[in-house]
Amino acid sequence: MRYFLILSLCLIPFVGVSQSIEGVWETYDDESGELKSEVKIYIKDGKLYGKILKLYNLDIDPKDAKCELCTDYRKDQPVIGMLVMSGLNKSGSEWIGDAALLDPNNGKSYDAKVWLESNNKLAVRGYIGWFFRTQYWKKK
Is 9 within the bounds of a domain?
no
Task: Decide: pTM greater than 0.95.
Answer: no
Domain count, the chain: 1
Q: What is the mean pLDDT of the chain?
A: 88
One-letter amino acid at 20 equals S
The pLDDT tens digits for 37-83 are: 999 999 999 999 999 999 999 989 999 999 999 999 999 999 999 99
C-beta separation of 51 from 40 below 8 A: yes
Is residue 99 one of the residues assigned to a domain? yes
Asked whether residue 87 carries a pLDDT value surpassing 90, the answer given is yes
Taking CA atoms, 73 is separated from 53, 105, 128, in Å, by 19, 16, 21
Asked if the structure places residue 44 within a domain, the reply is yes
**pLDDT recorded at residue 59:** 87
> Are the beta carbons of 123 and 136 closer than 8 angstroms?
yes
CA geometry: angle 41, 55, 24, nearest 5 deg: 25
At residue 3, does pLDDT exceed 90?
A: no
In a domain, 4, yes or no: no
Residue 80 lies in a domain: yes
CATH of residue 79: 2.40.128.520
Whether 8 maps to a domain, the answer reads no
Average pLDDT over residues 2-15: 41
Question: Is 5 among the domain residues?
Answer: no
Q: What is the pLDDT confidence band of residue 31, given thresholds at 50, 70 and 90? A: confident
pLDDT at 22: 96
Residue 38 lies in a domain: yes
Q: What is the residue range of 31's domain?
A: 20-139
